[in-house]
Amino acid sequence: MTAIDALLAEGPTFSIEAFPPKTERGRANLRAALDRLQRLDLSFVSVTYGAGGSTRERTGEGVEEISARGLTVMPHLTCIGHRREELVALLERYRDAGQRNVLALHGDPPRDDPDLPPGDLRRAIELVHLAREVGDFSVGVAAHPEGHPKAPDRASDRRHQAEKLRVADFGVTQFFFRLEDYLRLRDDLAALGVDTPIIPGIIPVTDHRQTARFAELSGASVPPELMERFDAAADAEEVKRIGVDVAVDLGQRLLEAGAPGLHVYALNRAEATEQVRAALPLDRRVG
């Protein structure tokens, strides 16, 4: 299994995020999507970890299934609600299975259990250090171009992001829609002495109302003028066309600005991601 920092050293990456489905139908849909997306020579696939560890087993199963396809995988792992020994056990499971990558996150409590105990590790940076103790992992962390939703102000947010990026191998951002948000993040971190590669996350919108809800949860925003375009669309197919066009335009400008790759929030679907990939001038990197 290839380490993501090694892939980044070779040139621009193209990766997707998948989530562990809850039902057999959902699993069949994900498999069908991966059958198509695998043809894109994906650099890696990230697999999400539900709030408070709610998808722990399904995430592990998803990582194993995607790895069996020969794809490089990056499982997400969160601090919240976990004892240290639980996190060590999960990291050992991935290490012993030959996994080389992990995304270290603080995480959020489930909506139906907001009082979940915080866990032994209180910050993502502690999880980065723990992963290094357990194995030779390439460790990524989350980055927030528009700032973390719980940050009191931009300056403290940037300092916090810089601290964890200094010890990580790479960052992956939440999705965003404005190039300037990514450039500002990169410049602010550079001013703080951080040059860790940060892979921008983009989303080809297929359901703008759903995307707006996702954005609200992650502290991102959908520009009002873009929402107006979606609202004025004649039908769902036009929404999808606009969503792909916007993602392609943003991806192109990110690459021209020197972004180390693109990470697509594919939502376990294939078509829009295929269209984005086909339109972008990326050297193919196989994980």
- Angle at the Cα of 172 (from 171 to 173), degrees rounded to 5? 120
Q: What is the DSSP letter of 113?
A: -
User: In terms of Cα–Cα distance, which of 206, 233, 203, 228 is closest to 215?
Assistant: 203
Lowest mean pLDDT of 215-219, 231-235, 244-248, name the range. 215-219
What is the value of pTM for the model shown?
0.94
Three-state secondary structure call for residue 89: helix
User: In terms of Cα–Cα distance, which of 114, 133, 100, 115 is closest to 287?
Assistant: 100
Q: Residues 20-76: pLDDT tens digits? A: 888 999 999 999 999 999 999 899 999 998 754 556 678 888 899 999 999 999 999
Rounded Cα distance, 224 and 157, in Å: 24
**Mean pLDDT across the chain, nearest whole number?**
92
Residue type, 256: E
Tell me, yes or no, whether 70 lies in a domain. yes
Is residue 286 scored above 60 in pLDDT?
Answer: no
Domain that residue 99 falls in: 4-279
Q: Residues 146-199: pLDDT tens digits? A: 998 888 899 999 999 999 999 999 999 999 999 999 999 999 999 999 999 999
Percent of the chain at pLDDT > 70 equals: 92
Residue type, 147: G
Angle between helices 84-96 and 56-68 (to 10 degrees): 10
User: In terms of Cα–Cα distance, which of 146, 147, 183, 141 is closest to 166?
Assistant: 141
Tell me, yes or no, whether 287 lies in a domain. no
250: domain CATH number is 3.20.20.220
Three-state secondary structure call for residue 174: strand
- H runs (alpha helix) in 168-235: 179-191, 208-218, 224-231
Tell me, yes or no, whether 285 lies in a domain. no
* Amino acid 44: pLDDT: 97
Tell me, yes or no, whether 286 lies in a domain. no
* Amino acid 285: pLDDT: 43
What average pLDDT does the segment 95-112 reach? 86
Is residue 255 scored above 60 in pLDDT?
Answer: yes
Tell me, yes or no, whether 256 lies in a domain. yes
Tell me, yes or no, whether 284 lies in a domain. no
* Amino acid 112: pLDDT: 57
- Residues carrying an active site annotation: 17
* Amino acid 17: pLDDT: 97
**Number of structural domains, the chain?**
1
Question: Which pLDDT band, with edges at 50, 70 and 90, does 210 fall under?
Answer: very high
Tell me, yes or no, whether 38 lies in a domain. yes
Tell me, yes or no, whether 196 lies in a domain. yes
Rounded Cα distance, 59 and 83, in Å: 18
Rounded Cα distance, 91 and 186, in Å: 30
